[in-house]
Structure 1
Amino acid sequence: MMQHALIWKRADGTGMEYCTHTLGERTKIEGKVIRSLKEEVSFVEYNVICDELGNTESVMINYIQHNLVQTMKLQKDADHRWTRDGIHIPELDGLKDIDIGATPSTNLLPIRRMRLEVGESEQMTAAWVRFPEFDVLPLQQEYTRLGEELFEYRSASGYTARLHTDAEGIIREYEGEWIQENK
């Protein structure tokens, strides 16, 4: 089992994150994000646990904004049926990955699970947690492996970014968004 501790800084200076990725039989990601946007000052704390195949199994998120504390517990069963705080969310059924919008850390999950060769692409849909809305929606995405440690990410909204990773798939730079400080 390997554990990686990371510090990311927002490219525009509006936030930082401390995160740990535990890679082994089961992937585990834990992080703390400080956001200081003009319209939102907040703190996001999360914990993601995956099954042996790299599929998201459970997610716990605490979101603190202007002294308002909100929590979300997402769980997925063996049949890929999702619940939020115990309530079934049928529009997420069948999805394998979580995408927590406040962090680059969860891009690791589809990158590691898909195991794309250079030049290959794969489309998938993730359970996307949005901020500051603090809801969860399906979001179509596509990953293309451009090089050994370079991927292109595209979402159905038209958003595109290049993701520079290490050999494990951990994001080192999320183009225009996040830069790892402790390389």
Structure 2
Amino acid sequence: MSKQILFWEKQQTTGSEYLELSYQNQTIQVESTVLFMENSVPQRVLYRILLNKIWGVKHLYIINHTLGKTLSLSTAGDGRWFNDDGDEIHMLNGALDVDISCTPFTNSLPINRLKWTPDEPKLFEMVYISAQDLSVKKVKQMYTLKHHQEDNRTFHYRSATFESPVIVDKNGFVLEYPELFIRRF
């Protein structure tokens, strides 16, 4: 088993994220702690994601310690999502990846799952999770590879009316999400 550590700093507000990835034979285990301010209230969010070896989500667990709220979702990678009781969450049907609002890491999921050709946009249905209240909804997001260099790639990201470049390293991990996150380690 090998391990990798990533650390991001929030840009517009106070906050940071410490994330560990553990690579095993058939899975990637992600465990992260995110600290940030929301409406002048300190927030502490912990999340764990279990991925298959090709970056497909298998299970997600998230807790907002400030609220004392948790969320657990699982999927077989076929676009169907289930809660802890095994009940299917129909409103999420079709989504393959997750996007957690407080972290740049989840941008790596679709980026690392697929092969990319410059200027060829790819549309994704995502399970969007608000870290502030752990609400869940399905959203559409588009990524387009704009620049590819030896050490990094730049994607154009769009979701509804929000657009931004996202710069990732050669392994698909966010280096900079302008005005939102910058990686320090």
TM over 0.5: yes
1:107 counterpart SS class = helix
Q: Residue 158 of structure 2 aligns with which residue?
A: 154
Q: 1: distance between equivalents of 2:129 and 2:38?
A: 18
Q: Give deviations 1:128-170, integer Å, cap 9, x for gaps.
A: 00132311100100001011111111002x1111111110100
1:94 counterpart SS class = coil
Q: Residue 97 of structure 2 aligns with which residue?
A: 97
Q: Quick one: which amino acid aligns to residue 43 of structure 2?
A: S
Q: 2: distance between equivalents of 1:163 and 1:2?
A: 26
Q: 2: distance between equivalents of 1:168 and 1:44?
A: 25
Q: Residue 178 of structure 1 aligns with which residue?
A: 181
Q: Quick one: which amino acid aligns to residue 79 of structure 2?
A: H
Gaps of 5+ in 2: none
Q: Residue 48 of structure 1 aligns with which residue?
A: 49
RMSD of Structure 2 on Structure 1 (CA): 1.8
| 1:78, distance to aligned residue in structure 2 (A) | 5.2
After TM superposition, the score normalised by the length of structure 1 is: 0.89
| 1:23, distance to aligned residue in structure 2 (A) | 5.0
Residues 23, 145 of structure 1: alpha-carbon distance in 2 compared, 3 angstrom cutoff? farther
Question: Once superposed, which parts of structure 1, at least 4 consecutive aligned residues long, lie more than 6 Å away?
Answer: none
After TM superposition, the score normalised by the length of structure 2 is: 0.88
Q: 1: distance between equivalents of 2:41 and 2:15?
A: 11
1:88 counterpart SS class = coil
